[in-house]
Amino acid sequence: MKRLRFFSVPYLAWMLIFIAVPTLILIMLAFSDYSLYYPSRFEITWVNFQIFSQSYMSKAIIYSFGLSIITTLICFVIGYPVAYYLANLPEKTRKIWLALLIVPLWANMLLRIFAWEKIFTPLSIFTDLSGLSLDLLGTNTGIVIGMVGMYLPFMIFPLFSVLERMDYSLVEAAKDLGATDLNVFFKVIFPMSLGGIVSGVIMTMLPAMTSFVLPARIGLGRINLIGNIIESKFMKEVMGSGGLSINVGSLISLMLMLFSVISFVIITRFDKEGETLI
Amino acid sequence: MGKKLIELKNISKSFGDLVVLDHFNFYINENEFITLLGPSGCGKTTCLRLIGGFETPDDGEIIFDGKVINDLEPNQREINTCFQKYALFPHLNVFDNIAFGLKLKKLPKTEIVDRVHQTLKLVKLDGFQDRHISTLSGGQQQRVAIARAIVNRPKVLLLDEPLGALDLKLRQEMQYELKEMQRTLGITFVYVTHDQEEALTMSDTIVIMNEGKILQIGTPEDIYNEPKSRFVANFIGESNIFEGIMIEDYLVKFVDREFKCVDKGFHLNEAVDVVIRPEDFDFVPPSKAKIKGIVDSLTFKGVHYEINVMVDGREYTIHTTKYREVGDRVGLSVEPESIHVMRRQRS
């Protein structure tokens, strides 16, 4: 087995170069005034934190949290019954449903976003087919519908995997001890699927919170999330009109990264075997 | 032994084409320890699940305390179950597992605490109330499962091979403890097992099943000493089974020899099966014996030897405390009351 270790070197090196090193660079940029155009200047400073006092930034944070929380709630309400239903299906039918859930995920995310975009315009193929005219571009509703469509499977999978593994005899045991169907759900099924719920919530909320193509396209740039701010900060630098915008972008990126790490820790706390992580 | 508590009348149950229970009839008395005994797949667990309410019969009636309960949900029956794989709630600790049923009944908190502690004492798990289920051994989990059921003071406790996963020593201990509990609590136990020894030691009544049918119901002594069929004789303990002919009352012929016996009421020359338990053979000098043979093998079994004797090309199994060398010529005798004659099974 020692020889196998050798073959892990390329990717480990890749992770070091393209994940660890850039993270260090982000940290360095976020807490300094170092600029590509004045490489001689380097001073550790909190000046980049001023971004959080800007109203457009706080608005983006509020929108990111707000929309992602609403999206997650909707995904949970829709996803839990679906996951429960799937987990109790006979093997064969279940596979068909799972395929219907997974296969669309393999389609490119951008394509799916563009598809939503088309559907949300007043005159679309959707209008031709259904007679309904949607005008949801640039609205919160549009973004939430898009996000739910995009991230619902990430809610369903972890829930499905805990519910599927749940021992049905526990339900019988609860009934035997006098539990009604409602009792069974709230005292056995729900608490036992807690690990899946935590994973599902985080795996839906995090990408929703950090998404930027979807709000950019469907929100028409009118609704900016944290991701869009980061993009604009880095794009400014690329355009050469930087100031410290790349430093600010780094700081916001680090903030999102921190969320991710905290989420990861929470998931591993609730789900020690990692059975809900895919 | 009191009145009939549960009665199964003409119960049939199939899963698809598979008939699991076929016109099943028996009753359970109050405070009785009754065991459903049979090989795997004989329908004993299904029978238990019907009583518990986890399955509904296709046909027939389940009567509990004089009322038909076919359509009652498990949570509406005064019956609790101790499941085969315990089915303890992994997200709750020992206390909350045991208190589960009491909390659902919304009993006052102090009463719940009292009853759980009493029950913990009963199953010898004092001080385990805060332990997590996953930290318990198999035997401890098993006792939590029993505690969780009996804390509700059900009229009937159903036990589905509860000792199957335990090692021999623990199993014997638990057999004793279960029997003790049943006596002190005065709860009717319906016990399912495929282990004949377990059934014989614990039960007041044994129901022997095979392929969805009842073959014999009786006390352990009855079933051991007077098996009604070849299957029962074979299933309960080791047996020497011979094909024979009932020549007249009290006289049976098998292995080409005639023996006195205590059975009567057969037709003249009726074909019968004859059962002789291994411990009922006795060694006598060959000159005085009707059956003579040569010791073929000998195994030490602790309390006794298991000796196989070849007689006319047929092996007889004998349990005895007397030692014989392999190759010894021996004579075998058997008392008339140890010869059990059964009607031949038409199959």
First to last CA, chain B: 36
Contact A176 B74 (CB under 8 A): yes
Residues of B in contact with A178 (CB under 8 A): 75, 101, 104-105, 152
The vertex-B219 CA angle with B217 and B225, nearest 5°, equals 95
State both tokens at A158: 């972890």
Taking the CA atoms of B174, B175, B180 and B186 in sequence, report the sign of the dihedral they define: positive
Check residue B165 and report its DSSP letter.
T
Enter the tokens of residue B158: 């159903």
Residue found by looking up tokens 């198999």 in the block? B138
Q: Among candidates A129, A139, A158, A106, which has minimal Cα distance to A215?
A: A139
pLDDT tens series, chain B, 347 aa: 568 899 999 999 999 888 899 888 989 999 999 999 999 888 899 999 999 999 999 999 999 988 999 989 999 998 999 988 889 999 999 999 999 999 999 999 999 999 999 999 888 899 999 999 999 988 899 889 989 999 998 999 999 988 887 788 888 888 888 898 898 888 999 999 988 889 999 999 999 999 888 999 999 999 988 888 888 988 887 888 898 999 888 999 998 888 998 888 888 888 898 989 899 999 988 888 888 999 999 999 888 999 999 998 888 999 999 888 898 899 999 999 889 888 886 54
| B90: chain A residues, CB-CB within 8 Å | 192
Query: What is the residue type of B26?
Result: F
Cα–Cα distances (Å) from A97 to A91, A92, A166, A180, B209, in that order, read 10, 9, 19, 29, 42
Question: What pLDDT, on a 0 to 100 scale, did the predictor assign at position B313?
Answer: 86
Q: Which residues of B touch A198 (CB under 8 A)?
A: none
Sheet with B188-193: list strands edge to edge. Answer: B79-82, B156-160, B188-193, B33-37, B205-210, B213-218
pLDDT in tens, A151-173: 999 999 999 999 998 888 999 99
Residues of A in contact with B53 (CB under 8 A): 175-176
Owner of token pair 């003579």: B292
Contact B266, B250 (CB under 8 A): no
Neighbours of B292 (CB within 10 A): 17
CB spacing of A173 vs B152 below 8 angstroms: no
- Nearest of A75, A127, A117 to residue A221 by alpha carbon: A117
pLDDT of residue A276: 63
Is the Cβ pair A173, B80 closer than 8 Å? no
Q: Using 50, 70 and 90 to split pLDDT, how confident is the model at A235?
A: confident
Mutate to test the interface with B, among A177, A181, A194, A197 (most CBs of B within 10 A): A177
Residue B179 CA to residue B202 CA, distance in Å, equals 6
Q: Which residue has the tokens 């004993």?
A: B44
Q: 3-state class of B51 per DSSP?
A: helix
- Looking only at the bridges linking them, the beta strands covering B188-193 and B156-160 are parallel
Tell me which of A49-53, A194-198, A269-273 is least confident.
A269-273
Of residues A172, A191, A194, nearest to B87 (C-beta): A172
The residue among A272, A80, A89 whose CA lies nearest residue A193 is A80
> Is pLDDT above 70 for A277?
no
Q: Does B83 touch chain A (CB under 8 A)?
A: yes
Q: Does the beta carbon of B101 lie under 8 angstroms from any beta carbon of chain A?
A: yes
Average pLDDT (A108-136) is 87
Q: What mean pLDDT comes out for the span A196-206?
A: 91
Residues 147-166 of chain B whose Cβ lies under 8 A from any Cβ of chain A:
148-149, 152
CA–chain centroid gap for A234, Å, is 21
Rounded to whole angstroms, the Cα distance separating A50 from B161 reads 69
Which tens digit of pLDDT belongs to each residue from B84-121? 888 999 999 999 999 999 999 999 999 999 999 999 98
pTM greater than 0.80: no
Question: What's the distance, CA A129 to chain centroid?
Answer: 31
Q: How many CB atoms lie under 10 A from the CB of residue B62?
A: 22
Under an 8 A CB cutoff, do A188 and B80 touch?
A: no
With CA atoms as reference, the chain B residue closest to A182 would be: B104
Question: pLDDT value at position B186?
Answer: 87
The 8 Å CB, 24+ separation contacts for B107-116 are B115/B151, B116/B147, B116/B151
- CB A187 to CB B100 under 8 A? yes
Whether residue A172 lies within 8 A of chain B, CB to CB, comes out as: yes
In chain A, the N- to C-terminal Cα span, in Å, equals 26
Instruction: Using alpha carbons, list the distances in angstroms from residue B99 to A199, B93, B116.
Output: 30, 10, 6
